[in-house]
Homo-oligomer: A and B are copies of this chain.
Amino acid sequence: LATASKQGPEDARRANRSLLLRALHHGGPTSRADLAKLTGLTPASVSSVVRDLLDQELVEELGTRVDGGVGKPATLVGIRPDSRYVVCLDLSEPEQFVAGLVDLTGKVVVRRSYARDERTGRRAETLVKRICHDLVADADRPLLGIGVASPGIVDDQGTVTTAAHLGWTDLDLGVRLSARASVPVHVVNDANAAALAELVFGAGEAQNLILVRVDEGVGAGLVLDGALFTGNRSAAGEIGHVVIEEHGEPCACGKRGCLETVVSEPLLGKRLGADGADEADVLGHAGSRLGVALSTVLGALDICDVVLSGPASVTSEAFRNATRDEIAARTMPNIADRLVVRPSTFGFDDVLIGAAALVLDRELGIH
C-alpha cells in the first residue's frame, strides 16, 4: 500500500505529538475524546501520545468533567506549565543582557540582568556563555532548551550574520553554545522573537502580523500564515534602512532619509529631551513616518495587525495613533478599516518571552 508518507514513523509520532500539544496549548485542558475530534487523530493515537506525554510529565490529568452525555465523566488533560523551563536570553539592549527562566505558558519565573560594559566580539560571546551557565544552574526543573534573541541578522542555523553594536559577524552562536549545552539551543533575531511571542503566547489569533521593534534602530518580525517569515537570507523585517524621505537626513549607512534617521530610541530620546520639545509633535512625526514605511508593506500583504515593541515613547498612544492614521490615509479600506496598531502584549519582556516561544516552536511544534 502506498500510504507511507514522506515522513517515517518517528516523524509521524512527533507530528502527532505537536498536534496534541498545540491543541492543548491553545485550547487549555481537554478530554482525550475532544482531542481526537480537534486533531483528527484516532482515539487510539491520542491515548498513546497522551500516555507518552504523561510519562514525560509534560501533561497532567486534571480531574473529570461531565459531558452532558450518558458516558462516564471525561478526564481532562492539560499541559503542566512548570514541567519544563526555557533558558532565555535577550541580547538586544545596549547596556545589558537580560536573561530568564520562562515556563511553558510564557511566564518569566526568574529574571536576571548582566551589565554588558560595552563588551563586544569574543568578550560579549563569553558573557553569553556565562549567562547560559548561570541560568542552567538556576533551573530547578528540566529544561526544554535555550533560546537566544540577538540583534542583527540571524540565519536558520543560528549564525549571527551581523550584529553591529556587538561586533559580531558570521558568528555561529548556536553551534558554539550547543557545544557546551546538554539541551537544544536556538538563536533568533530580536524582532522575530517578539513576533513569535505574539504568535505563541499572545491572546489574539493573529495568523498575519508585523511586529516593529524600535531600539538602537528599527527592525520588524513578520508572521505570515501562522509562521515566522524570514525571507531569502533571513533578513526579512530589516526595514531600518529603507528610504522614506527622499531628501532626508544622512544615515550611517550612506543613504539619506532611511527610516532609522527618523525613528530610533536614541533619536526619540534626544528630540524629546530638547529645549521646548513638544512631545505630541515629536511622537506624532516619528509615528507617522513609520506609518509611511509600513503602508506599502501592509497593502502589499493585506495584513492589518501592527504590533509596536520598544520604549514607552514608541508604544505610547500618541505614537501609535500617528502610525495608524498615516497608514489608514495611505491604504485601501481592506487595510484602513481593520487596522490595529497596538503595543506588544508582553511589554519589555517581549523579546525574552519570544526566545521561549522559539524553543516551544522548534522543540514541541507549538505555534
- Choose among B231, B237, B243 the residue that contacts A330 (Cβ–Cβ < 8 A): B243
Q: Indicate the member of A236, A294, A299 with the most B CB atoms within 10 Å.
A: A299
Interface core residue of A210, A222, A232, A239 (most chain B CB under 10 Å)? A232
Interface flags for A1-19 (1: CB within 8 Å of B; 0: not) read 1111111010011011001
Answer whether residue A300 sits at the interface, using C-beta atoms and an 8 A cutoff.
yes
In the assembled complex, the Cα of A299 lies from the Cα of B222 at a distance in Å of: 12
Q: A222 to B234, alpha carbons, bound, how many Å?
A: 18
The residues of B that contact A230 with a CB separation of less than 8 Å are 302
CA distance A253 to B299 in the complex (A): 15
* Residue contacts A-B, CB under 8 angstroms, 12 given: A2-B12, A2-B45, A2-B48, A4-B42, A5-B12, A6-B19, A7-B40, A224-B224, A224-B229, A231-B301, A242-B300, A255-B329
Partner of A229, one of B7, B225, B297, B334: B225
- Which residues of B have CB within 8 Å of A13? 2-3
Known: A48-B1, A231-B303, A300-B297. A242 touches B6 (CB 8 A): no
Beyond known contacts A239-B296, A297-B301: 15 more, CB 8 A cutoff: A2-B12, A2-B13, A4-B41, A6-B19, A6-B41, A208-B232, A235-B332, A236-B301, A237-B300, A237-B302, A238-B300, A238-B334, A239-B300, A242-B331, A296-B297
CA distance A16 to B244 in the complex (A): 47
In the complex, the chain B residue whose C-beta lies closest to that of A259 is B296
Tell me whether A44 is interfacial, beta carbon within 8 Å: yes
Nearest Cβ on chain B to A42's Cβ, whole angstroms = 5
Q: Which of A62-111 contact B (CB under 8 A)?
A: none
* Residue A360 at the chain B interface, CB threshold 8 Å: no
Q: Does A304 contact B (CB under 8 A)?
A: yes
A15 and B19: CB pair below 8 A? no
Q: Are A241 and B300 in contact (CB under 8 A)?
A: no
| Residues from chain B with Cβ under 8 Å of A39 in the complex | 6
Across the A-B interface, give the 10 residue pairs with the lowest CB-CB distance, nearest first. Answer: A231-B302, A2-B48, A243-B330, A235-B302, A236-B302, A2-B45, A242-B299, A6-B40, A297-B300, A235-B334
Across the interface, which residues of B come within 8 angstroms of A194, CB to CB? none
- A293 beta carbon closer than 8 Å to chain B: yes
Q: Does A247 have its Cβ within 8 Å of any Cβ on chain B?
A: no
Q: State the CA gap A207–B229 with chains docked (Å).
A: 12
A236 to B, closest residue via Cβ:
B302
Contacts of A244 in B (CB 8 A): 296
Residue numbers in B under 8 Å from A45 (CB-CB): 1-4
B329 and A232 within 8 A (CB) = no
A299 contacts which chain B residues (CB < 8 A)?
Answer: 238-239, 241-242
Tell me if A220 is interfacial: C-beta within 8 Å of chain B: yes
The residues in A between 16 and 60 inclusive whose CB is less than 8 angstroms from any CB of B are 16, 19, 39-42, 44-46, 48-49, 52
Partner of A293, one of B9, B296, B338: B296
Which residues of B have CB within 8 Å of A40?
6-7
Contacts of A150 in B (CB 8 A): none
Chain B residues, Cβ within 8 Å of A220: 300
